[in-house]
Amino acid sequence: MKKNYYKKQRLGTVIRTVILWGFMLLCIFPFLWMIGASLKKEPDVFQTPFTLFPDYLYLDNYAAVWGGKYNYAQMFGNSVFVTVISVVVAVILCCVAGYGFARLKFPGRNKIFILYLATMMIPGQLLMVPKYLMFREMGIYNTHWSLILPACFSIYGVFLMRQNMQQIPESISEAARIDGANEWQICFKLIMPLCKPAIITLVILLFTWQWNDYDNALLFLQDKDLYTLPLGLTYFMDETGLKYNLIMAAGIITIIPIFIVFLVAQKYFIGGLTAGSVKE
């Protein structure tokens, strides 16, 4: 009886493993194909019979995309610039505002916070038109600031930091106050270090959103020299037409940074995005 039970369990594990692995391979197949195509010479991309990976490595695709007339290096630089500045500023601002909402008392605090949360409901795409018109008036249309400035203020980030900072006991702040520390010192030197996991989560979330942002770049950037990677990739697709080996190499380049962060910090990644389901 018991032996039978274990046998059945083991069989279940095997079946589940086979099904899930098959499913997972189906999920990552597009990426495998992408890698394969990016390493092939152009005529071999759609080879028959079907081959996923070539039996040679043709790294010239990457070289052609990165430098020379396509100049992907510059777009990569633009993406890094926009992402780094907006993430750094946004994280600091979120921590400061989160601290204010969580640990300081002032009149109207809760009302302001509720209004603040309500703005989270506004779908970003609704603001395409007015933001485009506003940015033209403000003179930041077709500059990187049109991507950086709005991204500096993350409503979700403030929400996340407030949640975390509320859980730290007030006695810690009290002790520091008695020692003569002011609120800014308490925020930066005491509370923020205690929220390190939440801050890492926030950095990863904001990094992902900003790095992958296509919509805003499409609307607000015009000069090719300013393009960030996702927009650059669409331009590249139009430019090269059907040279899928080059397009896939370019695509892989846009994915690599996210992929590295994903592997290194997967714990925060999955936890954070699962908690952060408020945004797309």
Partner 1 sequence: MQRGKTISGDQARKRRKIKNALTGYSFIIINVVGVFIFWVVPLIFSLILSFSKWDQSQGLAGIKIIGFENYVKMWSDEWFRVSLVNNIKFTVLYVVLLLVISFFVALFLKEKVIGKKLVQLGTYLPYVVNVVAIAAVFLALFSRMGPISAFFKFLGVEDPPLFLNESKYALYAVTVICVWQALGYTAMLFLAGLINVPEDLYEAADLDGAGWRHKLLHVTIPMLRPTTFFITVTTLINSFKVFGLINIMTNGGPGTATTMLVYNIYRTAFRFNKMEFASAQGMVLLVVIFIISIIQFRVQNRKYEEM
| Piece in contact with partner 1 (CB under 8 A), picked from 53-61, 70-78, 170-178, 257-265 | 257-265
**Residues in 162-201 that interact with partner 1 by CB under 8 A:** 183, 187
- Asked if 127 is part of the footprint of partner 1 (rule: CB under 8 A), the reply reads yes
| Piece in contact with partner 1 (CB under 8 A), picked from 57-65, 80-88, 122-130, 172-180 | 122-130
> Is there a contact between 207 and 87 (Cβ–Cβ < 8 Å)?
yes
- Asked if 63 is part of the footprint of partner 1 (rule: CB under 8 A), the reply reads no
Among 188, 215, 239, 265, binds partner 1 (CB under 8 A): 215
In the complex with partner 1, the residue whose CB is nearer, 56 or 106, is 106
Among 3, 50, 56, 57, binds partner 1 (CB under 8 A): 50
- Asked if 229 is part of the footprint of partner 1 (rule: CB under 8 A), the reply reads yes
Residue 5 amino acid letter: Y
In the complex with partner 1, the residue whose CB is nearer, 13 or 167, is 13
Structure tokens at 74: 């510059």
Structure tokens at 104: 């300081």
Structure tokens at 112: 């302001």
- Asked if 212 is part of the footprint of partner 1 (rule: CB under 8 A), the reply reads yes
State the Cα–Cα distance between residues 3 and 78, nearest whole angstrom: 62
Question: What Cα–Cα distance (Å) separates residue 258 from each residue in 201, 210, 241, 254, 277?
Answer: 14, 11, 26, 8, 18
> Is there a contact between 251 and 34 (Cβ–Cβ < 8 Å)?
yes
